[in-house]
Amino acid sequence: MSAISLVNLNKRDAISSAMVKPPLSALVTTASSFLINNKVQENILLSQHMIYIDEGTIIHPRCVLECGNNSKGIKIGKNNIIEEGVVIINQGTDTLTIGNNNHIKAGVYISGNVKIGDYNVLECKCKIDNNVKIEEYCIINALCELGGDNGAMCQLPSYTIILGLNGARKSMLKQKEKIRSLHEHQIQQQLLTLRSILPNYHKAWKI
């Protein structure tokens, strides 16, 4: 697992200037196939605490990854796609974890004690806010919000779709083989495409 040695930045200054570019050795170490493009290191906001990202994950520009002083950090697994403007913040005392092969789309906000499994899709601008556990092969539609109430964990079983602004749930267990195949095919195709086209538009890091 690769470790990102985080840079101590003022949040507002970093977002407004959006041009802080730490040296590569200070930002990413020990990754064997971690891919970031140059725009990421210029436009990403990193807190002063440790964030771990495993190999193959692609992070787009203008993301925010931030941990509080008492936080146990953020752990992101393999082969995830994290699109532009995603905010991942952990101010709590539990580790915020994201598994493998997830697609987190533009403008998604994730905060607090959140556990996300594998092969999930978080559509644009949805919000996952504290005490939420998402298992596998779930879809959270655009603009939907999930959060635990009064410290209770909000748990989303595998093969669940969250629909509409009221967060209605629909189980896809009866179609789980189809859903599994579709999710796995889509994420692999998207990863292959991004790894092919990103170097044409940005200088890429591949460590």
The predicted-structure confidence for 41-70, as pLDDT tens digits, reads as follows: 344 555 545 788 888 888 887 888 888 777
Among 25-34, 61-70, 75-84, 142-151, the range scoring the smallest mean pLDDT is 25-34
Q: With 90 as the cut, is the pLDDT of residue 92 above it?
A: no
| Residue length of the chain | 207
Q: Mean pLDDT in the chain?
A: 75
Residue 115's pLDDT band (boundaries 50, 70, 90)? very high
CA 136 to the chain's CA centroid:
15
Domain that holds residue 82: 2-206
Minimum mean pLDDT range among 68-72, 90-94, 172-176: 68-72
Question: Is 13 strand, coil or helix?
Answer: helix
Average pLDDT of the residues in 80-93: 90
Answer whether 107's CB lies under 8 Å from 85's CB: yes
Q: Which residues contact 101 (CB under 8 A, 6 or more apart)?
A: 77, 78, 79, 80, 118, 119, 183, 184, 187
Sequence-ordered list of residues with C-beta below 8 angstroms from that of 186, at least 6 positions apart, any chain = 103
- Residue 143 · residue 79 · CB < 8 Å: no
User: How many structural domains comprise the chain?
Assistant: 1
Cα 198 from Cα 207, distance rounded (Å):
15
- pLDDT value at 117 more than 90: yes
Domain harbouring 14, CATH code: 2.160.10.10
What is the bridge-based pairing of β-strands 35-37 and 28-29?
Answer: unpaired
- Model confidence pLDDT, tens digit, residues 131-167: 999 999 999 999 999 987 766 788 999 999 998 777 7
Q: Is the pLDDT of residue 12 over 50?
A: no
